[in-house]
Every structure is written in C-alpha cells, then in structure tokens.
A and B are shown apart, each in its own frame.
Chain A
Amino acid sequence: MTVLLIALGAALGAPLRYLTDRAVQARDDSPFPWGTLTVNVAGSLLLGAVAAVPASPAVTALVGTGFCGALTTWSTLSYETLRLHREGARGHALANALGSLAAGLTAATVGYALAGAVTG
C-alpha cells in the first residue's frame, strides 16, 4: 500500500515539476533557473507542513515521500549551477546554489510553523 501511495505521489510530482518549469520559463526569459527554484521552494514549504502535523503514514507516503520528493530535485539544481558556472555566469551560479538553500530552508521553516499554528 505504501509503495502504491509513493508511486502515485511521484507520478504527479515529477510531471508537475516539468510543467511548472516550462510555465515559469515561458513567462521569464532570463538565464536564471527560476522554474527549479519555484518547485524546490514550494515542495519544501509543503513538506515542512506535512512534517508539522501528526500525519498518517499514508499521507506521509503520498504527499511527502512521493509528491514532494519527486516535485523537488537536487540533480537539476546541481547541473544548472555547473552550467551557469561554465558559461561564465559565476554570480548566477552562486546565487542559484546559496539562494536555493536559503529559500528552501526558510520555506520548510515557514511551512512547519504555519501548519503547527493552524492545527494548534
């Protein structure tokens, strides 16, 4: 059952990362990878919220491990940073790496605090 829930969450999360990335890039032509930052921050916010509430193992598997896990990515983030650095956009590379860390950690903390406040 857990395996099926993880699979279902991932089957939604991975395509949603791709579609979000396309939608963000279609609105903004900059070389900075805003699309990946968007999914990583959104997923960290949601997973922070899931971690704050006494969620059932089924919810954790579906939303946490499956959906948030597949929506967010380190492989894409690291490759983007390598490419930006290679192309001489050192400032963008540094901002992408450190900005993702700061924004992701902030989002996880905010998600945790919000869900904790709502559920008491």
Chain B
Amino acid sequence: MTGPSEFRVDPDVDLHVPADRRELAAHPVAVLGVIAAGGVLGALARAGLQAAFPHEPTGFPWATFGINLGGCLLIGALMAVLTARPPGPLVRPFLGVGVLGGFTTFSTYAVDTQRAIAAGAPGTALAYLAATLAGALLAVWAGDAVAGRLLARARVGAVR
C-alpha cells in the first residue's frame, strides 16, 4: 500500500516521491552510472533498428514508430511491476530512465515530422504525428493494464 506521498507522475524522477528525492544524494555515482549504461543500451538498440529499417524523408518512419510504441508498452508494464513490488534503488534508474528513456526518442519524432512536411508530404507527417500520439498512449495503457492483471493473478495464486 502506497500513501499519497508516493503519487508519481514522472517515471524518470518525481520529487514528490520520497525515495526519488533521496536517491541521487544517497548513490550519486551509481544512479548516474546505471542511467548512462542503460541509456547506451537503449540508444544502440534504437540505432540498430533504425539502420535495419531506413525510410525516405517523405516516407513513414516505421522503425521509430515501432520503437516509441514498444518503449511505451514496456514503461507501462515496468512501472506497474515496480509500484506493486518496490525493487532495489537502481532498478528504475537503469530500466526506466536509462534503457527505455534511451530507447524511445521524441526529438527524432519531431524532426522526422518536420522533415516530411518540408519534403512535401504533409499527409504522411500528419498521419505519423497522430498515429504515434494515439499509439503511444494506447501502448502505455495496455502495458500497465496487462502487467496489473498478471500481478493480480499472481497475488491470487500466492494466497491459494
């Protein structure tokens, strides 16, 4: 059971959560180190997928689209698990801030949209803009819902 002080909006770091407030002072090198390491892993995975599935400036950026939706699905599931079963102090910084934060990207999304408009494909730009927004929100909700259901089932199983 988490009290109102555990209310979290930001999965990267939320200073309304006491543990988040303390973590940097408690383990500065470890926290920043695992975020950097996770960020490297996430970014390399993203770069690999983008290199494997390149797109023209007027084309739909399928690789980045899939990366961002996949990362949103996983952050929903990850935060549901971490909220239900509080882990060690470096798990959220490594997996959430580092790996998933480094894997997903907003800047490439914004610039690819802008480039598609500049390249004379406003229809593709608008479709990409809207599909990523709708897909990302649906994905984070689905990740949270599925993980929440599995956790509830595990609890029932443990009681039996």
A residues in contact (CB < 8 Å) with B: 2-3, 6-7, 9-15, 17-19, 21-22, 25-26, 31, 33, 35-36, 40, 43-44, 46-48, 51, 61, 64-66, 68-84, 87, 97, 100-101, 104-105, 107-109, 112
Contact = CB atoms under 8 A, between A and B. Distances in A.
Contact of B107 (A21, A36, A68, A80): A68
Given A3-B44, A11-B40, A82-B137, A69 B9 contact: no
Interface residues of B, number: 61
Interface in B115-160: 115, 118, 129, 132-133, 136-137, 139-141, 144
Contacts of A105: 110, 113-114, 129
Contact of B79 (A18, A35, A79): A79
Given A79-B79, A104-B106, A48 B42 contact: no
21 contacts: A6-B44, A10-B43, A14-B36, A14-B38, A14-B98, A18-B31, A18-B32, A18-B97, A35-B12, A43-B106, A43-B107, A48-B114, A65-B50, A70-B101, A72-B105, A76-B101, A78-B139, A78-B140, A80-B9, A82-B76, A109-B114
Contacts of A81: 137, 140
Contact of B108 (A69, A77, A83): A69
The 10 closest A-B pairs by CB, nearest first: A14-B39, A10-B43, A72-B106, A104-B110, A43-B107, A75-B75, A44-B110, A74-B104, A78-B140, A47-B107
